[in-house]
């Protein structure tokens, strides 16, 4: 599995953090990430976070394979607070459990970043520590 992009989208679908391994194709990946929002909406119908909490357990936050592109596979994860985590990997075979663990860890990192009192909600995450943690997660550090 080769991770090519990691993205975190806010409650209102706005991009909070986008990391792309290949900067040349950044625009292409941004479009893919933006497109993934359609599949988030399709997989999780528009329900309020509260009602969702009651019906879904933590495991349901992992939405699995959202959609394929010609060369990549896009995986999604929706937090209880409606943050969207997107992971794009190359078109190789992957174990579902691996991806689930990865996105769970990413969620933990995100929670740490949001808990930072200096972070303004729904603004892009610019924390260097957060970025280093992401690099560590995907093995780029």
CA nearest neighbour of 26 among 40, 37, 15, 13: 15
Q: Does 38 bind another protein (CB under 8 A)?
A: yes
User: How far is residue 6's CA from residue 135's CA, in Å, rounded to a whole number?
Assistant: 10
CB of 15 to another protein, least distance (A): 6
Contact 7, 106 (CB under 8 A): no
- Which string of x and - marks every residue 115-134 that binds another protein (by CB under 8 A)? --------------------
DSSP-derived 3-state class of residue 141: coil
What is the gyration radius of the CA atoms in the chain, in angstroms?
A: 14
Residue owning tokens 């009602």: 51
Select from 11-19, 47-55, 92-100, 128-136 the region that touches another protein (CB under 8 A): 11-19
Which residue among 34, 65, 100, 131 contacts another protein (CB under 8 A)?
Answer: 34
Residue owning tokens 């359609």: 38
Q: Please, which residue, 12 or 95, has the CB nearer to another protein? A: 12
Residues 53 to 72 in contact with another protein, rule: CB under 8 A: 67-70
Residues 68 to 97 in contact with another protein, rule: CB under 8 A: 68-70
**Partner residues linked to 65 by β-bridges:** 75
By CB under 8 A, name the binding residues for another protein.
10, 12-15, 27, 30-31, 34-39, 41-42, 67-70
């Amino acid at each position: 599995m080769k991770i090519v992009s990691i993205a975190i989208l806010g409650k209102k679908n706005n991009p909070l953090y986008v990391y792309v391994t290949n900067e040349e194709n950044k625009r292409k990946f941004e479009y893919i990430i933006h497109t993934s929002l359609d599949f988030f909406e399709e997989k999780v119908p528009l329900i309020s976070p509260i009602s969702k909490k009651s019906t879904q357990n933590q495991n349901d936050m992992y939405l699995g394979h959202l959609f394929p592109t010609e060369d990549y596979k896009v995986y999604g994860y929706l937090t209880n607070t409606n943050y969207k985590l997107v992971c794009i990997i190359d078109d190789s075979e992957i174990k579902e459990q691996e991806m689930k663990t990865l996105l769970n860890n990413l969620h933990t990192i995100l929670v740490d970043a949001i808990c930072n009192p200096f972070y303004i909600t729904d603004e892009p995450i610019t924390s260097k520590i957060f970025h280093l943690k992401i690099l560590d997660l995907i093995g780029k550090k």
